[in-house]
Structures are given as C-alpha cells and as structure tokens.
Amino acid sequence: MRNARILNAAMYVPEQLLPNSYFNSLLGEDVGSWLEENLTIRERRWVSEGQSSADLAEQTALRLLKGSGLTASDIDLLIIATDTPEYISPSTASVVHHRIGMTRGGSFDVNTACAGFVTALDMGSKYIQADPAYRRVMVIGSYAMSRYLDMTDKKTVTLFADGASGVILEATEETDRGWQGSLLHTEGQYHDWMGIYAGGTRTPLTPAFREGANPYVQFVRKFPKEINPLTWERMLRELLQKIGRPVEDAAMIFFTQININSIRQTMEALGLSMDRTHCVMDRYAYTGSACIPMAFTEAMEQGRLKKGDLVLFMGSGGGLAFGCAAFTL
C-alpha cells in the first residue's frame, strides 16, 4: 500500500521586521509589555509594499525544491492553504504554479483559515494514497494578513503577521512511515465571530462597500477561552486512539500559534512537557496557515526530530475549523 511521507520542509518570511516598540509608537501606549508577558511576542514580519501571498509562497516553493534536489516538473500537485489569497479568483496556487515553472500537474487553494495547512496535508496525503499518478505533492501555507489590518485596532494590528511555509509529500511503500491518520472538525456556529467579512458575494466590492463595509480582519465576538485547548486535547487523544498509539509516543506536537497559554494548557492536559512542542510566535507573531509548518521547519532545522519520530499537527482557525494529522518521519 502506498503512503505519503514528508520529504522535506521549508519556510520564508518577509524582510520587514517590526518590533513591539513600533506599535508602542503607533498606538501611543505600551502594548509591547503585555504582548511579551502574555503571548511571548517580541517581533513579527510584514510584507513590504507590493509584496503578496503569492510572493511568500513562491519563495517557500523554491526553497522546498532546492532542499529536496527536485525541479518543478517533479511535482504532481500544488496545494496552497491561505485565507489571504492573491485574488478572489483565480487561485493563488495557479500563480505560484506558473512562477516556479511547473509545466504539468494540478494546483488549487484550500481555505479553512488557519487550519488550512493541516487540511491540505490531509488532502495531499490522500491523493498520494489513492492515485499512483500523484507521486509528489507540495503543500504550502501562505499568510499575508498585514494587508487586512486596521492600524488603529490594537487587538489585531499587534497580533497578526506574515509568512509562508510548507512541505513536499512523497509516495513511499514503507507503511510504517508517513501519514498515519487525521481528523477534521468544524464548529460552524462560530463562522461570524472572527474573519474578513467584505469582498465576497455577501459584501462585494461596490460603491456601497466603499461607503460603509469593514475591509479588515475583525474579532466580532470574543471566543470562549477554553475552546482551543479543550478541542485540541480531545482531537489529539481521539486521533492517537484511532491510530493505536499512546500519548507518550508523540515525539512532538505542532500547534496553531494563536495563544501560548492554549498550547501550555493542552500539553499539560496531555501530560507532556513543553519540550515536546516548538513555538515561533515570539519572533513571528501569528502567521495563520503558515505557523504550523514554520514551527515544524524550525524544529527540523534545529535537529529536534529524527527518522521514526511520531509528530502531530494540530490546527484551528476561523469558522471555526480544526484539523489534526499524525505522521511518522
């Protein structure tokens, strides 16, 4: 039976670095102390003028190809997870497909907000398992939320940031390696609690839009603070039970980097120490669909993972969408 293994990982962040002191000046108050004490955030990266989601994804794709010794013609499918797309239509993946020189294979975008990367991992793995025409699938999470920030709203402008990261999945005959299982879950009753609610068919780009609609990302209502840690723990335990592995077998778990306290609470509830996860939000803030593969890439580059390790990816995002996946490296 064919399975999908992770061949390699890569990431790219824009050069423009904004420390917390930038927002102290912008907002006229000390927001940096709270950010560092409560979220560990010290700095983040934003795209420069003229830079976009496709640019971030393109650079990540090129690094993935270089790091694996492959060319664009070796990729059978490109999936980009983003809710900050290049355009409403066509897909960001079609732009990147062209830019990196893919002359064959398909491409499409996935939008389950910040759970997008894990959702795309699930899909890419199953393409490889189901159809021998798909030998290598590139999965990238790309995020340029700084384009949708109200510069006067301290709840959002200090939190969200930009970056891209991803992996190449490759077919393998080693059934004890690669994809082990996954779970997807949605709490759709929260769909109107946080998001970008302008620019689609509900509120299109019309004169009325320009007169009153809000084009920025919004926290409309405050989410129950327990929803992420409770859902994360439940899904991780359910997935581990599904694949027949105890919690203690998880070498590392990579979470959506929205709140360090949610990560801590989940790890404590699982009975695992924080050295079994990896966080990047202190240096990159919240990078949505890119943050999980960014954390995974850094852990790989730092030698924190080895062949045979069981790793889990736990994502959540607006909608509310959740995705959990397990791989053996």
Question: Percent of the chain scored above 70 by pLDDT?
Answer: 98
What does the alpha-carbon distance between residue 62 and residue 213 come to, in Å, rounded to a whole number?
A: 38
CA atoms within 13 A on the CB side of 17: 8
Q: Which residues, in sequence order, are CB contacts of 156 under 8 Å at separation 6+?
A: 149, 150, 216, 217, 218, 219
Q: Interhelix angle for 116-130 vs 291-301, to 10°?
A: 70
Q: pLDDT digit string (tens) for 88-104?
A: 999 999 999 999 999 99
Mean pLDDT score, 185-196: 92
In this prediction, residues 164-176 reach a mean pLDDT of: 95
Is the CATH number of domain 3-175 3.40.47.10? Answer: yes
User: Which has the minimum average pLDDT: 69-78, 82-91, 187-196?
Assistant: 187-196
Query: Among all chains, which residue has been given the structure tokens 């790989």?
Result: 300
- The fold adopted by the segment(s) 179-328 is Peroxisomal Thiolase; Chain A, domain 1 (3.40.47)
Q: Please compute, for residue 2, the number of CA atoms within 13 A of its CA located in the half-sphere on the CB side.
A: 17
Instruction: For the chain, give every residue range classified as CATH 3.40.47.10.
Output: 3-175, 179-328
In this structure, the strands spanning 162-172 and 3-12 are: antiparallel
Task: Quote the pTM value.
Answer: 0.95
User: What per-residue confidence (pLDDT) applies to 223?
Assistant: 78
The string of pLDDT tens digits covering residues 8-29 is: 999 999 999 999 999 999 999 9
Both tokens of 173, joined, read 């005959």
The structure tokens listed for 121 are 């991992």
209 pLDDT tier (thresholds 50, 70, 90): low
CB 286 within 8 Å of CB 318: no
